[in-house]
Amino acid sequence: MNRAELMAWLRLLSLEFSANKLRALLERFGDPEGVFCASAAALREVTGIREADVAAIERAARAPVAIPALLETGAAQLLIAGVSDDYPRPLEILPDPPPALFVWGNLQERDRFAVSVVGTRKPSPYGRMVAERFTRDLCEAGLTIVSGGASGIDTVAHRTALEAGGRTVAILGSGLGNLYPSENRALFRRIAESGGAVVSEYPWDAEPDAWRFPVRNRLIAAWGLGTLVVEAPEASGALITARLASEYGREVFAVPGSIDSPTSKGCHAIIKDGAALVDCAEDILNALKVPTEPRTQVASLPLLTETQEKLLNALDLEPRHVDALARQVGLPVHTVQAELTMLEMQGLARRMPGGAFVRVL
């Protein structure tokens, strides 16, 4: 993305339009520059665009825009749906995926194998202990930990993932130029600089307005293969995330607590509604069908050939037959069989009955 394109995207995102409205504009005009070059009459023809929106677009086209320092240096980047290779694949299931995401740090292909960990901002000592235990064990199994960067359970999950040498992604309810909560700014920097990522769909300097957090929760819910609720009162943003995860076809897990604890009532409520009661990370791994190997065997990712990388990216937690993999990557079956055997020897794939393979994290 060149400088002019980046500035056009910054202008477009500054409009604070919904994801669906932005997508309608991009589908009609091709890119942000096309949006700002469009006539008022053409803009009015786009479904959902009101007169106030047309005026806002015209104002934004004339407004000066500065590129934030983190974007200038490359420490942060703007990922475009359908264009950027690193745009997170799990978000594609959303009915309204963000057309663009600001990412401070780095996303990896393996981050599609993640569990979202959420809970109250005021956890009990029990809740903190449970969040630490589950997070550490999930990281040990090779899963990325996704959470919202908030105080409480979110913070415990992110910090524990870092301490365990795992990967973590924080999805914020504010812009990356206005980090919230402020007491977690050092944590966010640590996440970004240690190889993880801090992510936002909002304009760079967006305030942490209350309405942003429930909207942000859909990204947390969609990103994880499952969502774990550690502690949550009956009225909790964590329960919004759990509900959305269920709507998106993701697994929902909840940790039980004392029947007298207000911070466990939300967990008990969603267990009654069908969430899986879990008391150890193994329950989650089994439910997600996560095949793992001893950590000593896969402590570092070996150097892979281009073909092996294609196959590894194609493998999932559900068994895939060799023939289907060969069709997907466009290679002969015998070549795919040989390369899968190499991945199996390196502890990155596992052979299943009937000529199928699964990804090992």
Residue 208 covered by a domain: yes
Contacts of 213 (CB under 8 A, 6+ apart): 148, 173, 237
- 119 and 256 together in one domain: yes
Does residue 28 contact residue 46 with C-beta atoms inside 8 Å?
Answer: yes
Q: Tell me, rounded to whole angstroms, the distance of Cα 149 from its chain centroid.
A: 12
- 134 and 61 together in one domain: no
Cα torsion angle, 172, 174, 178, 184, sign: negative
Final residue in a domain of this structure, among 227, 255, 288: 288
Does residue 231 contact residue 197 with C-beta atoms inside 8 Å?
Answer: no
Confidence (pTM): 0.86
Percent of the chain with pLDDT over 90: 86
- 122 and 214 together in one domain: yes
Please give the mean pLDDT across all residues of the chain. 93
- 200 and 224 together in one domain: yes
- 181 and 256 together in one domain: yes
Q: What is the mean pLDDT of residues 76-80?
A: 98
Residue 203 covered by a domain: yes
Residue 76 covered by a domain: no
Asked whether residue 299 carries a pLDDT value surpassing 50, the answer given is: no
Rounded Cα distance between 93 and 82, Å, is: 13
- 258 and 311 together in one domain: no
The residue among 26, 31, 33, 30 whose CA lies nearest residue 47 is 26
Asked whether residue 191 carries a pLDDT value surpassing 80, the answer given is: yes
The CATH number of residue 8's host domain is 1.10.150.20
Q: What is the mean pLDDT of residues 220-238?
A: 95
For residue 316, give its domain range.
296-359
The b/e string for 95-123 (b: 16+ C-beta within 10 A; e otherwise) is eebbbbbbbbbbbeebbbbbbbbbbbbeb
The CATH number of residue 126's host domain is 3.40.50.450
Residue 188 covered by a domain: yes
**In total, how many domains does the chain have?**
3
Q: Based on the number of CB atoms within 10 Å of its own CB, is 304 exposed (0-12), middle (13-18) or buried (19 or more)? A: middle
- Please give the full DSSP string across 110-177, using - where no structure is assigned: GGGSEEEEE--SS--HHHHHHHHHHHHHHHHTTPEEEE---TTHHHHHHHHHHHTT--EEEE-SS-TT
- 4 and 153 together in one domain: no
Lowest mean pLDDT across 56-60, 66-70, 167-171, 310-314:
310-314
- 271 and 306 together in one domain: no
Per-residue confidence (pLDDT) for residue 297, from 0 to 100? 42
- 248 and 193 together in one domain: yes
Does residue 218 contact residue 211 with C-beta atoms inside 8 Å?
Answer: no
- 140 and 53 together in one domain: no
- 300 and 161 together in one domain: no
Per-residue confidence (pLDDT) for residue 114, from 0 to 100? 97
Asked whether residue 296 carries a pLDDT value surpassing 60, the answer given is: no
The CATH number of residue 315's host domain is 1.10.10.10
The DSSP 8-state label assigned to residue 226 in this structure reads E
